[in-house]
Chains A and B, each alone.
Chain A
Amino acid sequence: DAGVIQSPRHEVTEMGQEVTLRCKPISGHNSLFWYRQTMMRGLELLIYFNNNVPIDDSGMPEDRFSAKMPNASFSTLKIQPSEPRDSAVYFCASSPSGPSTDTQYFGPGTRLTVL
């Protein structure tokens, strides 16, 4: 099992540019989560999908952030336009349905730096 795959692992961009982060969940998992981690705010949940449908996006900070899950094996988190305060590590996680929905498996993260 390859685990959750995220790309790119590192991204450096300039303020105002569009950034797209990608995630491939573990095969067979029905739930997908996007988190953001900073020193100041810790690990924050941005959005949660279940069966490819966004269930809770209350953590998405602004309209500049959007997330999609076009199929069960792929999700994207887009920031447009990016700002320096968006610099953080972004994690994707997936979990199976059923009694273990809170057992989340995290990817290695994407370290985003916005200059």
Chain B
Amino acid sequence: DAKTTQPPSMDCAEGRAANLPCNHSTISGNEYVYWYRQIHSQGPQYIIHGLKNNETNEMASLIITEDRKSSTLILPHATLRDTAVYYCIVGRGGTSYGKLTFGQGTILTVHP
């Protein structure tokens, strides 16, 4: 599976958009981009995933570049409860074995 690169930490003001980048330059054609987050002392939580089109759900938006070598997770109106470690993961998805390899992620701190 392709590896991902994320900044170790980011800050965001409450109410502003949080834009979390991820590089996955070795992604292959059948691999999806997944985002999970882990709030302190809790299990990881699925946020969103995509293949090549931009995606949006009630939690966030995912923007994938045309060459698919990078993506950005957008939390449109960050709140203090969004403070967490955010993981960008590349996985095969589909009907194949859904193995996810978690890296170190980005620690997002939302401040008042």
B-binding segment of A60-68, A74-82, A103-111: A103-111
Q: How far is the CA of A15 from the CA of B100 in the complex (A)?
A: 31
> Which residue in chain B gives the minimum CB-CB distance to A106?
B43
Cβ–Cβ contact A56 & B97, under 8 A: yes
Query: Hey, what's the 0/1 contact readout for A77-103 against B, CB within 8 Å counting as 1?
Result: 000000000000001010101111111
The majority secondary structure among interface residues of chain A is strand
Cβ–Cβ contact B95 & A101, under 8 A: yes
Q: Does A42 contact B (CB under 8 A)?
A: yes
Q: How many residues on the B side are at the interface (Cβ–Cβ under 8 A)?
A: 24
**Residues 45-73 of A contacting B (Cβ, < 8 Å):** 45, 48, 50, 55-56
Q: How many residues on the A side are at the interface (Cβ–Cβ under 8 A)?
A: 26
Closest Cβ–Cβ distance, residue B87 to chain A (whole Å): 8
Q: How far is the CA of A92 from the CA of B42 in the complex (A)?
A: 12
Q: CB within 8 A of A95: which of B43, B45, B95, B98?
A: B98
Cβ–Cβ contact B103 & A42, under 8 A: yes
Known: A42-B103, A42-B104. A101 touches B43 (CB 8 A): no
Cβ–Cβ contact A31 & B94, under 8 A: no
Q: How far is the CA of A44 from the CA of B46 in the complex (A)?
A: 16
Could you show 5 A-B contacts with beta carbons less than 8 Å apart?
A101-B93, A101-B98, A102-B49, A106-B43, A106-B44
Chain A positions near chain B (C-beta within 8 angstroms): 4, 31, 42-45, 48, 50, 55-56, 91, 93, 95, 97-109
Given contacts A95-B98, A102-B98, A104-B46, 5 further A-B contacts (CB under 8 A): A100-B93, A101-B98, A102-B92, A103-B46, A105-B46
